[in-house]
Structure 1
Amino acid sequence: MADTRAGESTAPGGPETGRPLPEHVTTPLLTLITARSMDEDYAHVAQKRADAGEPRPQASRPHWSSALAVAALGVMAAVVAVQTDREAPANELSRAALVEQIDSRSDDVRALQADVARLTRFNAAVASNSTGTQADLEDIEARVRRAELTSGFSPVHGPGVRITVDNRPGGDVDGEVLDEDLATLVDGLFEAGAEAVAINDQRINALGGIRNTSRAIHVNGRPVNAPYVVAAIGDPRTLQARLVETYQGQQWFGRVNNFGFVYEAENVDDIRLPAAPERVLRDVIELDAAPYGGPAQEGSSP
């Protein structure tokens, strides 16, 4: 018989007997305490209700409306699932159509961007050409203004000399100023440095002229009467002195002395002369043009 040590005890169902241990032995202590305390609480509450004569609470069964709601939710979920499954091909087609539209719009945007870039380059080229053209136009306008001033087809103003010429007092024919007398004076003024000359507000230029018709003088085809006011724009400090030194000026002053013309000259700070009347050219041919108005042939003699 085996010895039994002090402090050791054998319990029924132990390893020696081969039976399983009770639940309160194998259950962890914390779990066992919690469970038993809750069971005891429930038992205590139930005992108090029994002592008070209250009926024991019956287990509540689910109401038919709750079951119906659950069923309806299930049906709706099934319908949604079926509808989603049916619409899947259509959604896929819509997605493919959207992707195709996006690709098409992207191609259109790239084409528009290319057009914008091309138009931007074109505008830059036009602006550059416009700048060059504007410079050319300004140069041409300056040349035209100079040509108009030189030819007399533009009104001008500036300092100069105003000369008043009249017939000899007494009214005899020998003392009348003729066209050739005024022409001599005008030629002398131009040779002395005058830049523009007018007689009684009739501008003298290459297409105009001073002519006698009977006893009347016509300038640019228009009659002028004595006294004749000859206005010349030039340097007032030297114009009169240089007029005396010119050949035409000496001829003019000789006629003044011989025929007794009235001659008065004064320097003026600002003289305004009109433009000469325009005349249509009928017989003038451009130097580099053909005789009949066509372009000149290469190698043709002028």
Structure 2
Amino acid sequence: MADTRERPPEHALPEHVTTPLLTLITARSMDEDYAHVAQKRAAAGESVVPRARPHWVSLVAVAVLGVMAAVVVAQTNREAGVDELSRAALIERIEAQSGQLADLQRDVGEVTRANQDVASNSTVVQGQLEDLSTRVRRAELNTGFAPVHGPGVRFTIDNRPGIDVDTEIRDEDLATLVDGLWAAGAEAIAINDQRLNVLGGIRNTGRAVHVNGRPVLAPYVVSAIGDPRTLEARLLQTSEGQTWFGLVDLLDTLYSSENVDDIRLPAAPERPLRDVIELNADPAGVQEGEGSAP
């Protein structure tokens, strides 16, 4: 009879081919490592059977770790209360500082508004001061209490040599010329650099002529600021001017005039006012309406 048992195929695949790759790598890697270590120990004459380490070392290590964990937990629990108190104190301090900051911010706002009000008032006051300064300068120009310059006419008057006292130029003669110049349109007048205004005067003391209380000597230089093209002609048209030119002919006075492009006159000397009070002011010097409610 023929043998019917199955025979393995002649070309059956080896085990390392049919085994899964991951299993094969793990098994062979571990086996080769163990074999390598065993060979080294055998060569050194050591036993290839590993010695078991005593288990009490592991127990001690576990016990130490347990004690350390317990200490950490206890320390954490003990410091938890302190941390909570510190946190509460910090929150309270922050709230207090926040309140102080709010107060400071409110104060800063009030100071800022006050500064803005002061700046606004300062602007108003500055405008008022500038207006007052303009009015003062204009008043000084009109009253003669400010130095001025401008075009005009300069008159030179002198006595002829050898005349007697009765024919000398006197204060009233110069006053007649000055009045005629005012009437002719002169804006500022000075005699020998003594500026004339309503508080000044021309008078004789003996034979000397005084202007603003100060003596002046001949020749008398009368400087008048005004339109040089018309000032002298208009002087001749006034009654005072006609009287003046009549005196010049009668007294045989030396007289000359010249047009000047820029005459510079000083300010009139100031005199304190003792009895004059502003029209809209009471005797105490307070204007009407000041200090009363609108």
Q: TM-score range by the shorter chain?
A: 0.7 to 0.9
Superposed CA offset, 1:57-84 (max 9, x none): 4335269888767655544443332222
212, 218, 234: which one pairs with 2:210?
Answer: 218
Instruction: Within 5 Å, give how 1:196-215 maps onto structure 2.
Output: 196-215=188-207
Partner Cα separation in structure 1 for residue 85 and residue 279 of structure 2: 80
Q: Verify the 8 A CA contact 1:49 1:56 in the aligned structure 2.
A: no
2:241 aligns with 249
1:88 aligns with 80
Post-superposition offset of 1:142: 0.5
120, 123, 131: which one pairs with 1:131?
Answer: 123
Structure 2 residue 229 is matched with structure 1 residue 267: no
Superposed CA offset, 1:11-68 (max 9, x none): xxxxxxxxxxxxxxxxxx8698788767865886688679765412433526988876
Partner Cα separation in structure 1 for residue 35 and residue 257 of structure 2: 149
Question: For this pair of structures, how many residues does the alignment match?
Answer: 270
Q: Give the letter for the 1:97 counterpart.
A: A
Superposed CA offset, 1:67-110 (max 9, x none): 76765554444333222211111111111111111112222222
Q: Verify the 8 A CA contact 2:145 2:268 in the aligned structure 1.
A: yes
* Cα 1:294–1:95 shift into 2, 3 Å: same
Partner Cα separation in structure 2 for residue 123 and residue 215 of structure 1: 66
Structure 2 residue 168 is matched with structure 1 residue 176: yes
Q: Verify the 8 A CA contact 1:285 1:293 in the aligned structure 2.
A: no
Q: Verify the 8 A CA contact 2:280 2:288 in the aligned structure 1.
A: no
126, 144, 159: which one pairs with 1:167?
Answer: 159
Partner Cα separation in structure 1 for residue 157 and residue 259 of structure 2: 15
Q: Verify the 8 A CA contact 1:149 1:156 in the aligned structure 2.
A: yes
1:101 aligns with 93
Partner Cα separation in structure 2 for residue 63 and residue 247 of structure 1: 147
Partner Cα separation in structure 2 for residue 80 and residue 139 of structure 1: 84
* Cα 1:85–1:110 shift into 2, 3 Å: same
Instruction: Within 5 Å, give how 1:32-71 maps onto structure 2.
Output: 54-61=46-53
1:281 aligns with 273
> Identity over the aligned pairs, expressed in percent?
61
Runs of 4+ in structure 1 over 4 Å off: 29-53, 62-74, 294-298
Q: What's the Cα RMSD here?
A: 3.2
Post-superposition offset of 1:221: 0.6
* Cα 1:269–1:58 shift into 2, 3 Å: same
| Partner SS, residue 79 of structure 1 | helix
Q: Give the letter for the 2:209 counterpart.
A: I
Partner Cα separation in structure 2 for residue 146 and residue 123 of structure 1: 34
TM-score when normalising by structure 2:
0.80
Partner Cα separation in structure 1 for residue 150 and residue 84 of structure 2: 89
Q: Verify the 8 A CA contact 1:174 1:259 in the aligned structure 2.
A: no
Partner Cα separation in structure 1 for residue 135 and residue 222 of structure 2: 28
Post-superposition offset of 1:267: 0.9
Partner Cα separation in structure 1 for residue 238 and residue 220 of structure 2: 21
Partner Cα separation in structure 2 for residue 69 and residue 286 of structure 1: 112
Unaligned 5+ segments in structure 1 are 1-28
Q: Verify the 8 A CA contact 1:161 1:232 in the aligned structure 2.
A: yes
Q: Verify the 8 A CA contact 1:159 1:233 in the aligned structure 2.
A: yes
Partner Cα separation in structure 1 for residue 221 and residue 41 of structure 2: 150
Post-superposition offset of 1:112: 2.0
Partner Cα separation in structure 1 for residue 197 and residue 276 of structure 2: 16
Partner Cα separation in structure 1 for residue 55 and residue 113 of structure 2: 81
Structure 2 residue 231 is matched with structure 1 residue 239: yes
178, 182, 197: which one pairs with 1:186?
Answer: 178
